[in-house]
């Protein structure tokens, strides 16, 4: 039997990091088993679907390494509507489903409780199909439904506690539960690897598989992904869009590595490992069923490690979208003609050790490409205190006299200026850094001044001096 797994997102918004985790787990499992990864777009909610969301799913999968052409699909659930309706008809004709025209208010009036589930009122009344008649599955009165799950063992559900659930609406359109089962049957899915949030629906779906005469798939419900408050990650509350992380400058390799650690870990005391190790060592049955904490700070640290591991030419290439304004959320503050590729290449090794996401490259190097620095006024107020004017005057005079404009000469010269005033280098260089770069933190100062050049450095220091009394 060929293993066939599927990833079935809905095109109703940005691509959730939890969905990306599930896609990767399905992808690796299929590859390990010599099987097939199927992409199915569950697009039956026409009111919420947009074509650009579908393209966003495909692009996001491309980015994390599940490239187009390497999987089967994408299929679209809406194209299988005829099979969904046919299955609903078979269930009705076989007596496994019946029609009901009860409203929620009807049920509440009969039961006296707004919390009571459906009471089976129409089970034996023989109501036929018609406008406003929903089709309900006839759940067995006795026994249990056992879900064999590779991660959670054998969760067992008492059938009497499962209400007769709706499988087709009053207009005849099948609901998600039935459509999902029929699609999996049609596509020959053998293993369903999905998030824990779907587990409550699984006994209902397994009953549908049985009623339609097909052996259910192997189930595996991976842990829910939660935030630092141990709440399920929410699009309304948390930063969950994979595209947002991509556009901020997270590397695909770092994201893949981190997502696979949500509920699982490679052997040994290590977390950052080559993708080939993850592909070899990942085991579904080793996934921890407990909720998995999505720690953005840890992801940042991961990403910083991945950035520092890049060869410098690859780092320079990776930064280009942010330096040129291509495909990013905002263009850089300089004009294209102001960018100096050679100057960036000179400081790239310094920047590479200091940023955690690629978008941080812009504020670290913008001083090189702007006619004048973007002054952080809070930094100016904090740094430019009594004595700063005298220090800048002395530093300008000392720098003007330098024969060699290099980092070592600049450093020793400024050290001497500070020593004459009883200042250590840190205190001495702070006003110079703000005058030249506009900020109190950034790349190593003297290497930056070397690349910026004598004329531009002195011009900025003089301009800063004019702002001081």
* Catalytically annotated residues: 235
Helix and strand numbers, DSSP H then E, in the chain:
19, 12
The strand pair at 134-137 and 166-168 is best described as antiparallel
Tell me which residue of 167, 84, 177 sits closest to 118, measured CA to CA.
167
Cis (ω within 30 of 0) for the bond into 230? Answer: no
Residue 76 region, left (φ>0) first, then alpha (ψ -120 to 50), else beta? beta
DSSP H helical ranges for 72-219: 81-93, 104-111, 176-186, 202-211
Dihedral, CA atoms, 56, 61, 63, 69, nearest 10 degrees?
Answer: -110
Identify the burial level of 40 via C-beta atoms within 10 angstroms of its C-beta, where 0-12 means exposed, 13-18 middle and 19 or more buried. buried
Angle between helices 17-32 and 252-260 (to 10 degrees): 80
Q: Which residue has the tokens 């320079």?
A: 316
376-400 residues labelled b (16+ CB within 10 A) or e (exposed):
beebbeebbeeebbebbebbbeebe
∠ CA 362-365-371, nearest 5°, is 105
Angle between helices 388-400 and 407-419 (to 10 degrees): 140
Element (DSSP H or E) covering residue 275: helix 275-281
Helix, strand, coil in percent for the chain, rounding step 5: 50, 10, 40
Distances from the Cα of 75 to the Cαs of 123, 179, 182, 189, in angstroms? 36, 13, 13, 13
């Amino acid at each position: 039997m060929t293993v066939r797994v599927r990833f079935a997102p809905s095109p109703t918004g940005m691509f959730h990091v939890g969905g990306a985790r599930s896609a990767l787990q399905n992808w690796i499992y299929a590859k390990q088993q010599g099987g097939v990864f199927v992409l199915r777009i569950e697009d039956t909610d026409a009111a919420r679907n947009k074509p650009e969301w579908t393209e966003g799913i495909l692009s996001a999968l491309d980015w994390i390494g599940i490239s187009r052409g390497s999987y089967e699909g994408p299929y679209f659930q809406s194209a299988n509507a005829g099979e969904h309706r046919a299955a609903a008809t078979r269930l009705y004709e076989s007596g496994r489903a019946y029609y009901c025209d009860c409203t929620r208010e009807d049920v509440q009036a009969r039961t006296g409780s707004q919390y009571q589930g459906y009471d089976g009122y129409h089970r034996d009344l023989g109501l036929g199909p018609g406008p406003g008649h929903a089709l309900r599955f006839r759940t067995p009165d006795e026994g249990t439904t056992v879900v064999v799950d590779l991660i959670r063992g054998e969760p067992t559900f008492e059938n009497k506690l499962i209400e007769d659930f709706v499988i087709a609406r009053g207009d005849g359109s099948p609901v998600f539960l039935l459509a999902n089962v029929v699609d999996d049957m049609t596509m020959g899915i053998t293993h369903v690897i999905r998030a824990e949030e779907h587990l409550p629906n699984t006994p209902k779906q397994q009953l549908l598989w049985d009623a339609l005469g097909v052996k259910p798939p192997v189930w595996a419900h991976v842990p829910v992904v939660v935030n630092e408050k141990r709440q399920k990650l929410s699009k309304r509350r948390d930063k969950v869009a994979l595209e947002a992380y991509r556009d901020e400058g997270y590397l695909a390799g770092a994201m893949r590595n981190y997502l696979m650690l949500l509920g699982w870990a490679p052997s040994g005391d290590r977390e950052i490992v080559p993708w080939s190790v993850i592909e070899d060592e990942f085991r579904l049955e080793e996934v921890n069923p407990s909720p998995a904490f999505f720690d953005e700070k840890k992801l940042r640290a991961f990403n910083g490690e991945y950035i520092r591991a890049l060869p410098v030419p690859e780092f320079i290439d990776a930064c280009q979208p942010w330096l040129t304004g291509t495909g990013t959320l905002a263009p850089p503050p300089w004009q294209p003609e102001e960018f100096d590729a050679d100057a960036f290449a000179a400081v790239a090794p310094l920047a590479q050790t200091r940023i955690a996401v690629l978008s941080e490259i812009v504020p670290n190097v913008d001083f090189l490409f702007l006619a004048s620095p973007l002054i952080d006024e809070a930094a100016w107020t904090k740094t430019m205190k009594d004595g700063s004017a005298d220090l800048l005057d002395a530093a300008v005079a000392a720098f003007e006299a330098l024969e060699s404009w290099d980092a070592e000469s600049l450093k020793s010269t400024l050290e001497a200026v500070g020593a004459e005033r009883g200042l250590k280098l840190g205190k001495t260089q702070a006003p110079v850094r703000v005058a030249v770069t506009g900020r109190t933190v950034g790349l190593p100062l003297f290497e930056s001044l070397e690349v910026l050049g004598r004329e531009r450095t002195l011009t900025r220091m003089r301009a800063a001096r004019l702002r001081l009394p």
